[in-house]
């Protein structure tokens, strides 16, 4: 299923999230199971299935990594749920350094400042990679799609590190 077509939006990484939200609400109103409560069991089931598809599509298009993966899948390159290791030594070193910094937060004299510093590093890396991802996806060619796939893999690491950092921050506040 092409999620962009479902929402009648251009298949592009740069998406107007406000427009996406508006179209989501329109589709939800149109296909919500309550709208089909007087219909046959088949109509009710189809409405539930369509609502589930709309929800899945909205979630995927709203999140930049899932949106990028969907774009690549539409182009014939499926990378979701893959397990692949990196050969980029600089990226691997950077990941190790960030993981070490995160592991040392609780022993730090000022954990809040360490968290802030790591947070800024993660945000900067994510911003840079998201710009690279947008440029690669805009090119719409096989070599750039492969580059986009590699950038998505890197971004997944940063998003995961962000979640780990948020968890540590919550634990420290409790």
pLDDT tops 90 at residue 83? no
Same fold, 3-62 and 89-173: no
All structural domains of the chain with their residue ranges:
3-62, 89-173
Is the CB of residue 71 less than 8 Å from the CB of residue 137? yes
**pLDDT of res. 55:** 96
**Six-digit token pair at 31?**
């296909």
Looking at domain 3-62, which of 3.30.420.40, 1.10.357.10, 1.10.287.110, 3.90.1150.10 is its CATH number?
A: 1.10.287.110
- Please give the CATH number for the structural domain made up of 89-173: 1.20.1280
CA gap 86, 92 in Å, rounded: 7
Is the CB of residue 80 less than 8 Å from the CB of residue 73? yes
Structure confidence by residue, pLDDT tens digits, 115-149: 999 999 999 999 999 999 999 999 999 999 999 99
pTM equals 0.86
Under the banding of pLDDT at 50, 70 and 90, the label for residue 173 is confident
Mean pLDDT (whole number) for 3-13: 96
């Amino acid at each position: 299923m092409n999620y962009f077509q479902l929402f009648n939006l251009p298949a592009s990484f740069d998406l107007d999230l406000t427009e996406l939200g508006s179209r989501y609400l329109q589709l939800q109103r149109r296909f919500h199971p309550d709208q089909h409560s007087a219909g046959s069991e088949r109509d009710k089931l189809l409405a539930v299935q369509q609502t589930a598809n709309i929800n899945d599509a909205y979630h995927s298009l709203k999140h930049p990594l899932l949106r990028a993966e969907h774009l690549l899948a539409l182009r014939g390159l499926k990378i979701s749920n893959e397990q692949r290791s990196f050969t980029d030594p600089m990226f691997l070193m950077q990941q190790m350094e960030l993981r070490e910094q995160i592991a040392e937060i609780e022993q730090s004299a000022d954990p809040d400042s360490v968290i802030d510093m790591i947070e800024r590093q993660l945000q900067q890396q994510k911003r840079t990679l998201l710009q690279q991802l947008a440029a690669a996806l805009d090119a719409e060619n096989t070599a750039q799609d492969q580059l986009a796939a590699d950038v998505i893999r890197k971004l997944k690491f940063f998003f995961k590190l962000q979640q780990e950092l948020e968890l540590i921050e919550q634990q420290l506040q409790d």
